[in-house]
C-alpha cells in the first residue's frame, strides 16, 4: 500500500509507530472502510451489465435559495443555464456514461477499497468496471482524461499491473498532451463557452497522468508539459493570499484574457473545491520532481486553507466566501480532496505534523454520522453533503462519486502513515 510514502514519510511513520494503537482509537477508520465496502459492493451489483457508472443523486433547487447563496438581487436574478430534473427523478440515482468527466472515480474507489481490505470480490469488481473505460483511450475532447483514466487504470497499474494497462495510460496521455499550447504554456480545459483559451484550476489534477506516462515511456516530454502548465498556472491563477480563481482564459499570444468563475460564488470568491484541487496538484508536482518550488507553493496554499475554513469540523462551505448561514451547503468533496492532499503534504514538509493533524481531522469528520452514509442508504454512495455546481443549480447537497474516491484515498494514506492493517482494526 506504499503509494507515495517512501522516503519522505519515514519520520512520521517512526513517530506514529511509537503511539498507542489501541483498537478503540481507530474505530472510526474501520467504520469508514466497512461502510465504504458495503456501499461499493451494493452499487457494483446494481449497475453490473448496464455500462453505466454512479455519479450522484438527482436534486432540484429553489431559485430564491440560489439568489441568497450567490448574494444576488432576487428581483433581477435570472434562471438561465439551469434545468430542473423531472419531479420523479428527484432523490434517485444519477448515473453517467464512460465519457463523463467523473467516470473514473467509481472504478478507482473499488481499487482503493480492495487495497484497504484485500477483498477478492472488490478486486474483480475493480477490474470489471475499469475495463469499461477502455474506449476512453481514444477520446480527445476533454482535459479530464487524468480523472477518467488516472483514477481507474492508474490504480489498476499499481495494484494489478499489466502491459495492456500501460498502453491505455500512454495513449490517453498522448491525447491529453495534444491539448497543450506552447504559446499559452497550458493545457486547454474546455472546448465550449465564451473564453478564447480557458484553463481551470481543476486541470492541475490531470497532470499526474502525464508524469506517469513519462515514467512508463522514459520520455520526459510528458512531464515537461505538466510542469510548464503548473508554472503558468502558478503565475496567473493565484491571488496574493494564495487563493485561486477558477477559470483563467488566455489570448492567442499567451497574455491573460480574463479571470472568472464558473462554479464559484463570484469571480473574486474562493470556490472551495478549486482550492482543494490546487493544494493537491502542487503537492503532486513536488512528489514527482523533488523541486522545493512546488513544495513551498503547496504549503502556502495549505496554510491558506487552514486559515480560511472556519467550520468546526473543517468541512468547508461550498465557497469560502459563501454566506455563513445554517442553510449554506458544505462540500464534502472539497474536504476529501483536501484531506488526501494534506496527508501527502505532511510527509514532505518540515512542519508536516500540522498538515497530518488537519487531514486526520477532516477524515474523522467525514467518518462521523453527519457525512458517512448508513449501509444501504444514500443510493449506494459513501459520503453525504457535497456540492457540485451550486451556481448552476446542479448537485447541491448530494453525494458525489469523487467525494467517495478521495475519501478512500485519504483512508489509504492514513493507514499507510499509521502503519495500520485492516485485519488489525
For CA atoms 293, 185, 274, 110, give the dihedral sign. negative
Residue 185 Cα distances to 176, 189, 230, 234, 291, angstroms: 14, 13, 9, 11, 19
- CA 22 – CA 65 distance, rounded (Å): 46
Q: Supply angle C-alpha 308, 309, 310, rounded to 5.
A: 105
Catalytic residue status for 202: yes
Percent of the chain that is helix, strand, coil (3-state, to 5):
55, 10, 35
Please provide the DSSP assignment of 364-416 as one string. HHHTSTTTBPPTT-GGG-SB--EEEEGGGTEEEEE-BHHHHHHHHHHHHHHHH
Cβ pair 296, 323 in contact under 8 A: no
From 402, 422, 383, select the one nearest 36 (Cα to Cα): 383
**Which residue of the set 100, 144, 319, 416 is catalytic?**
144
Q: What's the grid cell of residue 375?
A: 449501509
**Which residue of the set 100, 202, 319, 331 is catalytic?**
202
Catalytic residue status for 163: no
- CA 422 – CA 410 distance, rounded (Å): 14
Residues classed as catalytic: 144, 202
Amino acid at each position: 500500500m506504499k503509494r507515495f510514502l517512501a522516503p519522505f514519510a519515514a519520520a512520521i511513520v517512526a513517530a506514529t509507530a511509537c503511539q498507542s494503537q489501541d483498537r478503540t482509537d481507530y474505530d472510526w477508520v474501520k467504520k469508514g472502510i466497512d461502510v465504504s465496502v458495503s456501499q461499493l459492493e451494493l452499487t457494483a451489483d446494481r449497475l453490473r451489465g448496464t455500462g453505466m457508472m454512479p455519479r450522484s443523486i438527482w436534486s432540484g433547487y429553489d431559485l430564491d435559495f440560489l439568489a441568497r447563496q450567490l448574494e444576488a438581487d432576487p428581483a433581477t436574478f435570472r434562471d438561465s443555464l439551469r434545468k430542473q430534473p423531472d419531479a420523479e427523478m428527484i432523490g434517485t440515482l444519477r448515473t453517467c456514461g464512460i465519457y463523463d468527466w467523473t467516470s473514473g472515480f467509481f472504478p478507482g474507489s473499488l481499487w482503493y477499497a480492495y487495497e484497504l481490505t484485500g477483498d477478492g470480490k472488490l478486486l474483480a469488481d475493480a477490474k470489471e468496471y475499469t475495463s469499461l473505460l477502455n474506449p476512453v483511450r481514444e477520446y480527445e475532447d476533454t482535459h479530464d482524461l487524468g480523472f477518467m483514466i488516472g483514477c481507474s487504470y492508474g490504480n489498476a497499474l499499481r495494484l494489478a499491473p499489466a502491459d495492456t494497462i500501460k498502453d491505455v495510460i500512454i495513449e490517453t496521455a498522448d491525447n491529453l498532451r495534444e491539448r497543450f499550447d506552447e504559446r499559452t504554456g497550458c493545457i486547454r480545459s474546455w472546448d465550449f463557452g465564451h473564453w478564447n483559451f480557458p484553463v481551470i484550476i481543476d486541470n492541475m489534477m490531470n497532470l499526474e497522468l502525464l508524469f506517469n506516462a513519462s515514467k512508463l515511456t522514459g520520455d520526459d516530454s510528458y512531464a515537461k508539459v505538466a510542469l510548464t502548465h503548473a508554472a503558468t498556472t502558478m503565475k496567473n491563477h493565484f491571488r496574493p493570499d494564495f487563493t485561486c480563481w477558477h477559470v483563467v482564459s488566455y489570448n492567442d499570444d499567451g497574455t491573460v484574457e480574463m479571470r472568472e468563475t464558473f462554479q464559484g460564488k463570484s469571480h473574486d470568491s474562493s470556490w472551495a473545491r478549486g482550492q482543494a484541487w490546487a493544494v493537491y496538484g502542487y503537492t503532486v508536482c513536488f512528489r514527482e520532481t523533488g523541486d522545493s518550488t512546488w513544495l513551498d507553493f503547496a504549503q502556502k496554499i495549505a496554510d491558506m486553507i487552514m486559515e480560511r475554513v472556519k467550520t468546526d469540523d473543517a468541512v468547508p462551505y461550498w465557497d469560502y466566501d459563501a454566506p455563513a448561514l445554517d442553510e449554506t451547503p458544505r462540500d464534502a468533496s472539497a474536504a476529501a480532496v483536501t484531506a488526501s492532499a494534506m496527508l501527502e503534504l505532511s510527509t514532505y514538509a518540515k512542519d508536516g505534523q500540522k498538515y497530518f493533524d488537519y487531514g486526520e481531522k477532516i477524515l474523522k469528520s467525514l467518518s462521523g454520522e453527519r457525512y458517512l452514509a448508513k449501509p444501504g442508504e444514500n443510493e449506494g454512495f459513501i459520503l453525504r453533503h457535497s456540492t457540485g455546481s451550486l451556481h448552476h443549480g446542479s448537485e447541491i447537497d448530494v453525494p458525489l462519486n469523487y467525494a467517495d474516491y478521495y475519501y478512500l484515498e485519504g483512508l489509504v494514506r492514513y493507514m499507510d502513515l499509521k502503519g495500520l492493517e485492516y485485519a488489525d482494526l
